[in-house]
Amino acid sequence: MPARAVPELSGPAPAVLEANQRFYAAFQSLDIALMSAVWLHEDWVQCVHPGWDLLIGWDEIRGTWARIFSNTRRIQIAVSSVRVHAEGDVAWVACTEHITSAFANSFDEALVQATNMFVRREGAWYLVGHHASPLLNAPIPKIQ
Amino acid sequence: MPARAVPELSGPAPAVLEANQRFYAAFQSLDIALMSAVWLHEDWVQCVHPGWDLLIGWDEIRGTWARIFSNTRRIQIAVSSVRVHAEGDVAWVACTEHITSAFANSFDEALVQATNMFVRREGAWYLVGHHASPLLNAPIPKIQ
């Protein structure tokens, strides 16, 4: 038995964290089909890339991921300081993204604070909101 | 009858938008008691000020608002592009904050994209998450 209770891992938290990991796996894969499978395809889902305006609806969000993926040669994302909270069929994860990107002619490193929001539909958790913002002690990621 | 349906204003949306307005009224008032009344006082609520690391729990969050308020002489916030979505007892608002701050010896203007998350407790909506990030076409707000 653990010496200390870990209440964050009771209830839906493991499934939410798994959905969060699938999001970052899709991000790293640069594969739009994997990214598409992570998101709920509704016209109200929302996304804020670092420094960008709000994007609303899966069609618009899909377009920006496709653009980011086509302009990125390779990307590595390590995630730290992960916090999860669930309320009924809604959950959100806060985490810090350590991103290393390779473009056609350059590299970029960035530290980003993210809030990822999920809803549960028929037992499965889907991403419905991604808000990512640059941390001031690191350069803003260059999304071309 | 309106020529066009406004589905966003059905259900809990008006009450959520009112809670969102109370948050900005509290922010503008620089009154920690008003800000305290807006938030749910739990150890899992979260806040990301523009460019800051994640803050967790009301005690930590309260401390930063108190610090921001004590270092600001006057602040004006206009909110635009407001979007609301609710799922059961959870709702979130995306909006753009146009912030003008007066400090002891300087002024500052900033454009910030915010995601505000609310939960309903006994019929009332409380703020449980605030993620604010600088928009690249405006200076990052100076929080002293």
Residue A105's pLDDT is 84
The ipTM value here is: 0.85
* pLDDT over 60 at A8, yes or no: no
CA angle A72, A77, A83 (to 5 degrees): 140
User: Which chain A residues touch B44 with a CB distance below 8 Å?
Assistant: 83, 85
User: Which chain B residues touch A52 with a CB distance below 8 Å?
Assistant: 113, 135-136
Q: What is the pLDDT of residues A56-101, one digit of tens each?
A: 999 999 999 999 999 999 999 999 999 999 999 999 999 999 999 8
Q: Which of A40, A47, A54, A98 to mutate to test the interface with B (most CBs of B within 10 A)?
A: A54
* pLDDT over 60 at B60, yes or no: yes
Bridge-based pairing state of the strands A90-102 and A74-87: antiparallel
Residue found under tokens 């991921």:
A65
Q: Predicted confidence band at A2 (pLDDT cuts at 50, 70, 90)?
A: very low
Domains of chain A from N-terminus onward: 7-134 (3.10.450.50)
Q: What is the pLDDT of residues A14-23, one digit of tens each?
A: 999 999 999 9
Determine the Cα–Cα distance for residues B117 and B108; give it in Å rounded to an integer: 26
- Binary contact (A54, B140; C-beta < 8 A): no
Residue B129's pLDDT is 98
- Binary contact (B134, A129; C-beta < 8 A): no
B96 and chain A: CB distance < 8 Å anywhere? Answer: yes
* pLDDT over 60 at A37, yes or no: yes
Question: Residue A39 in contact with residue A126, Cβ under 8 Å?
Answer: yes
**CA B75 from centroid of its chain's CA atoms:** 14
- Binary contact (B51, A135; C-beta < 8 A): yes
A140 and chain B: CB distance < 8 Å anywhere? Answer: yes
CA angle B138, B142, B144 (to 5 degrees): 175
Query: What's the one-letter identity of residue B87?
Result: E
Q: What is the pLDDT of residues B13-59, one digit of tens each?
A: 999 999 999 999 999 999 999 999 999 999 999 999 998 899 999 99
Residue B8's pLDDT is 45
Average pLDDT, chain A: 89
A12 and chain B: CB distance < 8 Å anywhere? Answer: no
User: Which chain A residues touch B110 with a CB distance below 8 Å?
Assistant: none
Query: What's the one-letter identity of residue A85?
Result: H
Q: What is the pLDDT of residues B62-79, one digit of tens each?
A: 999 999 999 999 999 999
Determine the Cα–Cα distance for residues B69 and B144; give it in Å rounded to an integer: 10
Question: Residue B87 in contact with residue A90, Cβ under 8 Å?
Answer: yes
Span A8-29, average pLDDT: 90
Q: What is the pLDDT of residues B89-117, one digit of tens each?
A: 999 999 999 999 888 888 889 999 999 99
User: Which chain A residues touch B135 with a CB distance below 8 Å?
Assistant: 51-53
- Binary contact (B96, A135; C-beta < 8 A): no
User: Which chain B residues touch A131 with a CB distance below 8 Å?
Assistant: 113, 115, 131, 133
* pLDDT over 80 at A41, yes or no: yes
* Torsion B22-B27-B28-B31 (CA) sign: positive
3-state secondary structure of B58: helix
**How many angstroms away from the CA of A26 is the closest CA of chain B?**
23
